[in-house]
Structure 1
Amino acid sequence: MARAQGARAQMALAFETTYGTPPLGGYTRMPFASTSLGSEQPLQASELLGYGRDPLAPLKDAVTADGDVSVPIDAAAFGFWLKAAFGAPVTTGVGPYTHEFRSGNWVLPSFAIETGMPEVPRYAMYAGCMVDALSWQMARSGLLTASASIVAQGETIGTSSSAGTLAALDLVRFGHFNGAITRNAVPIGNIVSADINYANNLDRIETIRADGKIDGADPSIAALTGSVAVRFADQTLVNQAINGEACELEFSYNLSTGESLSLTAHAVYLPRPRIEIAGPQGVQATFDWQAATDAVAGRMCTVTLVNDVEAY
């Protein structure tokens, strides 16, 4: 009897034309490190009295389908997650192509994901998927991955794949070594680590249905937040926080082969941090920043991806 192993698992993704209806084809094989995406249905314990001390059988509660997917930040496949989080990009160029994803879209695309474990076999199709949040961390070393939080409409289990023949993309990963952070187009020194989190704050439409699924997930007010841990060397960021001023922060990755990825937060506000002296080591300060819409750019942030993919 075969036992499922993560090493043989696979994931396929395709964008939907109609919410909750998985496409019949056009799926792309997606690289991923782990996933908790799944459907669960808890049980409600019986509250009835008069049948002795032993309880009656429990009742099924509502079905919830959601979870997180850990994905590599690469030059090709990551564009699918950016499209799901921000909407379709504005693409220019004739190769390499420049894809510009902009925050503030009222309508976000839904997609279908199939996760497969061929040993069992078990193929789970998740329809009506939408990205609730996309986050990652910048550091000095380690593997560079992002976490995509997904809200799905429901799950369908099969013994064979419904995705058909999968399109494959070249995996060209960015690494922490390729990262850089600038403030108002000037490189920032003494940055130890940085966190970036973009949230669509999806509002689940939990209507009464016979199948227990949700009717949809509408994007609410978006949020772009994060933190930067800085070795305390000057007063630049502290003065900005005290004065309540905004700055532009850009988090970017560049490869020698020409591929690049950058997230530009056009108007970032910093809180006034506590400066602690914890011992003889260097002094660090952490700024939990928040981004807001910028009057000049007309939006909160822009993500630019340069690669050889013609369209998403």
Structure 2
Amino acid sequence: MTFRVLSGLDCELFGRLESGAIGTPAAGDYLRLPFTSHGLSGRIGKETSDLLGQGRDPTDPDRGDETVDGDIAVPMDVRGTGFWLALLLGLPTTAASKAYGSVTFGADPRAGDTVTLDGTVFTFVSGAPATATEVQTGANLLASVTALAAAANASVVAEVAAATYTVGDGVRLDIQHDTSGASGAEYSLAASAATVSGATLTATYTHTYGSGCSASDIRRATMVIRSTPAALTWRQLGVWMTRAQLALASTGRASLTASLIAHREDEVVSAALGDVVTHAYQRFLQAQGSLLVDGQQVAEITASSMVYDNSLSGVRSLGYGGRIADIDVATAKLDGTITARFGSGTLKSRAESDTPVDLLYRWQPSPGAALSIAYPRVWLPKPQRSISGPAGVEASYAWMAAKRQAAGAVTTAAAMTAVLTNDVASYAP
């Protein structure tokens, strides 16, 4: 038998939310999950023998309990993130949103090139437009796409006027239908010298997740990590997410670190994954993100992080072989940090006034793809400042979030609400 070293390059990760009894693998079609590191694994320790009267040399150790836990780092991507949010916060409330599509140009359009928007043909011309459907080519690609968006937005043709047109990344015409629901997905697209996102607009959905769900709404999953070249497959059953951490910076790629515990891990010859669902991969980039304080962009902020601790602890019950059979839930903890240039700015004044602020983290690479995480009630401490040189001084605010609660009410608005917009119809198992 040829020995093959396990390589991270060859590993694939799959997951599906469970709905059956603990220890029963989730049945159905699994989702292929992008990841950047994987530490979820089972281990069984050894316990030193406590026998006496056997001499000074130790006797055989006893088998310890099985523990399955670890972290998985995953990219924040437009579609896969919904699975991890469901594992953390429970299933979302999903509603139809506005259909979205795009026309992407690889080069500056030339005279005679056409773009057809739901049956209306727009033609690029080199001179001044003579009709409402002619678009003058610009000095560069951005100018040409901007002119196309302006012409489409000004159109009085009912089918064209039923959508809104914007410029994406300087090379793309983004199209979002003005009406939510499936009817917008009937809007057709075509182009003679550009790439359309599809023959029609794509139906989109908003998935709304709220913190503080009841214990019965917390979901568990079956996870499978495999390496086909090394002929190795591990399956973790009854996986719960205990903690999630996310950082926001001015550059780089957005990633989430999920801390997990599980009922058990099996090494299997193969795992039934059904018809694996592989979503088109589109990552949220940090440059596409923003952090709003009370609805306003604050220039002094340079970085931020957020942590959601589910406060879950495993319960080892009799009859389960020493494994975790269920979870206990406690009060969730929502906190994070904001790093900012220290001065007479918004954060300093709000911290000193001891009044809560509203934080909104959001990423939106296009109208049909977005993620927002809202904390309506965040408390900022007065930070310690440190001056160590001639450069600008930074301060770190370790914030804490709480739910918005009316007088006499037990539950009101969630302490955190995440809204994901994409073309996935459902995350339910």
TM-score (norm 1): 0.96
Match of 1:61 in 2: 64
1:62 is paired with a residue whose SS is strand
Instruction: Trace 1:9-20 onto structure 2 (pairs within 5 A).
Output: 9-20=11-22
Is 1:302 paired with 2:305? no
Match of 1:99 among 199, 207, 210: 207
- The structural deviation recorded for 1:257 is 5.2
Is 1:276 paired with 2:386? yes
Instruction: Trace 1:121-200 onto structure 2 (pairs within 5 A).
Output: 121-200=231-310
Structure ID, larger Rg:
2
Give me the CA root mean square deviation.
1.4
Which 10-residue stretch deviates more, 223-232 or 20-29? 20-29
Which residue type is aligned with residue 74 of structure 2? Answer: V
Contact 1:4/1:118 (8 A) holds in 2: no
Contact 1:134/1:198 (8 A) holds in 2: yes
Contact 1:116/1:161 (8 A) holds in 2: no
CA distance, structure 2, for counterparts of residue 84 and residue 24 of structure 1 = 17
TM-score (norm 2): 0.70
Match of 1:251 among 333, 349, 361: 361
- The structural deviation recorded for 1:249 is 0.2
Match of 2:328 in 1: 218
Contact 1:19/1:110 (8 A) holds in 2: no
Question: Structure 1: which 5+ runs fail to align?
Answer: none
Moved over 3 A (4+): none
- The structural deviation recorded for 1:233 is 3.1
2:87 is paired with a residue whose SS is helix
Which residue type is aligned with residue 205 of structure 2? Answer: Y
Percent sequence identity is 29
Cα shift readout 1:281-300 (whole Å, capped 9, x = no counterpart): 11001000000011266210
1:298 is paired with a residue whose SS is coil
Contact 1:86/1:108 (8 A) holds in 2: yes
Q: How many residues align?
A: 312
Match of 1:48 in 2: 51
CA distance, structure 1, for counterparts of residue 342 and residue 287 of structure 2 = 22
Which residue type is aligned with residue 5 of structure 1? Answer: S
CA distance, structure 1, for counterparts of residue 229 and residue 330 of structure 2 = 40
Is 1:292 paired with 2:402? yes
Is 1:311 paired with 2:426? yes
- The structural deviation recorded for 1:18 is 1.8
CA distance, structure 2, for counterparts of residue 166 and residue 36 of structure 1 = 22
